[in-house]
Chain A
């Protein structure tokens, strides 16, 4: 029994905004199952009283002066956009 179903693979692909074929879905199912079952060895450890680490250094709330600085020029920002018009980045319409 796989730890992850084909439907779950397709659901995850949708969340990740990846288009996958049936063939790829099957391949991901096998590979993710292998990696997840390997990851389950972490369950050997009792971590009930362990705090999670998201960041290794002892720092939080790094603040700075709220000073206005120069932004990037519009033409530079649009330089790499695949499609733009009148200073805006252009995408397919999202409303009919």
Chain B
């Protein structure tokens, strides 16, 4: 049994009793990384010396009355699009290969305050653009359940590292499903918080109106602890919301009696694999037994979400990624002929294919003559999608469906055609467009590969999402199964 089979609450008890030390936890993390990361390729950069130093400081506090952070001693991995002061941050892009951040993202500062220990930085699709981690410019992360398959993306490293037992938990980011889809593929718990719940300061921006940072964990309880530590309004991010942060873990009562669940027919329709549907229906039976009721509903504009998302996210990306110009930081081409030449060559040599494709699409959609037809049209469709959710939430507490239409696919299977790859996110994208919270929890297996149940809540109602996810988790044992590596 690994130390990381324990929850935060159990590990804290072991630490308090001095049965283990923070150094033991850090040791366990680096030992496991040494054993399996050649295969999994979840980490891009390790921070071993510093992690050991922090662990030592924390161990000095054990058995004393000194105030301890809410995650003290817990080893965490951080997605490589969150800037970490003095620790290389690449976004898995060659354009940031040598980037050494000069400040911490707010979520990283909060982890330090909570006394979690950062083990290293996690692999991802370049600039979070992708659904398989195959767009990393370093190496494609593998799914610990079957290393011939993808871990999902773009937070593939974050999900794979947790599933492989390399860290206790991790942070990812989710723009169109990038936390929930890899969590589903890797059999772990991943939450995209409500837009505005968590500060985006220091998250390298992809699509600013959609991006959110969120936790990936083995259990729902740990997910709640980690979200607690990173939530809250931040003066450095004016889109972070000034709303109170409830005690998420306290709400995990196991009680879902009288809960009203909506199941959109569009989420069990065409393109969703048969055993994925069956696992969702079986999950609904579990919740029914616990006293919840469910009804079929419609989110009629779901089929338009994918197109609206690609126009909006690529447009925002084309603006956000304009900052990578070879001037102030990042890669600069050798011997440019002029300033414009420096911009063009640095960007062309530094960015990978998918990133260029999205910058091109976004620039086109925002360009004169096309703005109204594409960008503005997509913004209007976004309103319709948001209204779909508002209508359903007038009568129901949560929306439930699969996280993804299929389990993890084979490496190389979908890289030829961008649209096939994009279609993987049809069930997660509407949640980002509406800005509501969504979680993926393990709910079954398909030929040895994990499946995820997606539970979607109202704005800022992560508490209900967690309560349902936790009740389901306690009634099943999918989360207890581990991959063999």
Question: Taking the nearest CB of chain A, how far is it from the CB of B170, in angstroms?
Answer: 25
**A50, B383: Cβ atoms closer than 8 Å:** yes
Evaluate whether A28 and B357 lie within 8 angstroms (CB atoms) in the complex, with A45-B304, A72-B102, A89-B328 already known: yes
Contact with B along A3-18 (1 / 0, CB 8 A): 0100011011101111
Q: Which residue of B lies closest to A65 (CB)?
A: B235
* B383 contacts across to A, CB distance below 8 A: 50-53
* B332 contacts across to A, CB distance below 8 A: 82-83
CA distance A47 to B385 in the complex (A): 12
Evaluate whether A19 and B379 lie within 8 angstroms (CB atoms) in the complex, with A56-B195, A79-B100 already known: no
CA distance A76 to B412 in the complex (A): 41
Q: Is B393 an interface residue (CB 8 A)?
A: no
* B241 contacts across to A, CB distance below 8 A: 57, 59
Evaluate whether A18 and B360 lie within 8 angstroms (CB atoms) in the complex, with A76-B102, A82-B332, A91-B342 already known: yes
**B364, A12: Cβ atoms closer than 8 Å:** yes
**A16, B329: Cβ atoms closer than 8 Å:** no
Q: Which of B102, B209, B378 contacts A55 (CB 8 A)?
A: B209
CA distance A53 to B379 in the complex (A): 5
* A72 contacts across to B, CB distance below 8 A: 102-103
Tally chain A residues at the interface, Cβ within 8 Å: 49
CA distance A80 to B102 in the complex (A): 9
Evaluate whether A32 and B340 lie within 8 angstroms (CB atoms) in the complex, with A76-B102, A77-B102, A89-B327 already known: no
Stretch in B38-46, B69-77, B119-127, B305-313 with 4+ CB within 8 Å of A: B305-313
Secondary structure of the A contact surface, majority rule: loop
Q: How large is the interface on B (under 10, 10 to 19, 20 to 34, 35 or more residues)?
A: 35 or more
CA distance A41 to B310 in the complex (A): 13
Q: Which residue of A lies closest to B210 (CB)?
A: A56
Secondary structure of the B contact surface, majority rule: helix
**A51, B340: Cβ atoms closer than 8 Å:** no
* B435 contacts across to A, CB distance below 8 A: 56-57
Most buried by A among B328, B357, B367, B435: B328
Q: Which of A61-96 contact B (CB under 8 A)?
A: 62, 64, 72, 76-77, 79-83, 89, 91-92, 94
26 contacts between A and B (CB under 8 A): A9-B360, A12-B364, A18-B344, A18-B347, A31-B357, A35-B418, A39-B307, A42-B308, A50-B381, A51-B380, A52-B376, A52-B382, A53-B379, A54-B379, A57-B239, A57-B459, A64-B235, A79-B100, A79-B102, A80-B98, A80-B100, A80-B102, A82-B327, A89-B327, A92-B341, A94-B339
Task: Give me the interface of B with A, judged by CB distance under 8 Å.
Answer: 98-100, 102-103, 195-196, 209, 235, 238-239, 241, 301, 303-304, 307-308, 310-311, 318, 322, 325-332, 336-345, 347-348, 351, 356-357, 359-361, 363-364, 367, 374, 376-384, 386, 418-419, 433-435, 459
Known: A52-B383, A80-B330. 16 other contacts (CB 8 A): A16-B360, A18-B348, A18-B356, A36-B374, A39-B310, A42-B304, A44-B304, A45-B381, A50-B384, A52-B380, A56-B433, A57-B239, A57-B435, A80-B328, A81-B328, A82-B330
Task: Give me the interface of A with B, judged by CB distance under 8 Å.
Answer: 4, 8-9, 11-13, 15-20, 28, 31-32, 34-36, 38-39, 41-45, 47, 50-57, 59, 62, 64, 72, 76-77, 79-83, 89, 91-92, 94
